[in-house]
Amino acid sequence: MQEADLIRKAQSGDHDALVDLLRSIETSVYRSAYYILGNEQDALDASQEVLIRIYRKLDTYQEKAKFSTWVQRIVSNVCMDKFRAKKETVSIDEHELIIPDRNNVEDEILLTGLSSDIQEAIGKLPKQYRMVVVLRYLEDFSYQEIAEALELPLNTVKSYLFRARQQLQELLYDYQKGGIG
């Protein structure tokens, strides 16, 4: 069933369509939250909150924007709320990235295949840069879609991506200098 059909059926009260719709986006929601927030537990919490918000507010979605853009705006807002509320904590153990939906092998390979150096470097970016990097390179959003999802001017998105790439290059310099081996 097409995403647009699922959305319309879910908005009209079809519970099965709603469940299918939420399942179809949960991995993407989790992946974005993980790379924005930087740890598994916060990403799981944020993902759950995002899916609940989508469930509650699906009737407000209008087809003016792509559904994925609307969803990513919710992900961004929830993650920003978590940034604001988060107190400095120290992780006592490293977690391997766990993907909630084991049905999509390609997503699993993509996520587990990213080097820990790149994951760590993305996590060190300022939150506004991290969000645009996640949306551009992990979610494959266009610059315009990122601007809509984050409610930023297009030139700001371009500037953030430029600066994020510069910072990532600096953060990964030692890794690049040593080569692959």
CA distance linking residue 161 with residue 167, whole number of Å: 10
Q: What's the confidence (pLDDT) of residue 109? A: 43
Q: What's the confidence (pLDDT) of residue 122? A: 85
Q: What's the confidence (pLDDT) of residue 178? A: 56
Q: What's the confidence (pLDDT) of residue 118? A: 77
**pLDDT tens string 40-96:** 899 999 999 999 999 999 999 988 889 999 999 999 899 888 877 764 444 434 434
Tell me how crowded residue 89 is: count the other CB atoms within 10 A of its CB.
8
CA distance linking residue 10 with residue 109, whole number of Å: 30
What's the angle, vertex CA 118, arms to CA 113 and CA 120, rounded to 5? 115
- What is the rounded average pLDDT for all residues in the chain? 81
Q: What's the confidence (pLDDT) of residue 89? A: 45
Reported confidence tier of residue 98, pLDDT bands at 50, 70, 90: very low
Q: Which of 49, 46, 64, 84 is nearest to 7 (CA)?
A: 64
**pLDDT tens string 127-137:** 889 989 988 88
**pLDDT tens string 36-54:** 888 889 999 999 999 999 9
What secondary structure, in 3-state letters, does 75-138 show? HHHHHHHHHHHCCCCCCCCCCCCCCCCCCCHHHHHHHHHCCHHHHHHHHHCCHHHHHHHHHHHH
Backbone angles phi, psi at 75, to 5 degrees: -55, -45
pLDDT at 161 over 90: yes
Per the CB < 8 A criterion, the answer to whether 30 and 78 are in contact is no
Range with lowest mean pLDDT among 20-24, 108-112, 147-151, 153-157 = 108-112
Reported confidence tier of residue 105, pLDDT bands at 50, 70, 90: very low
Q: Exposed, middle or buried, 58 (CB in 10 Å: 0-12/13-18/19+)?
A: middle
Q: What's the confidence (pLDDT) of residue 110? A: 45
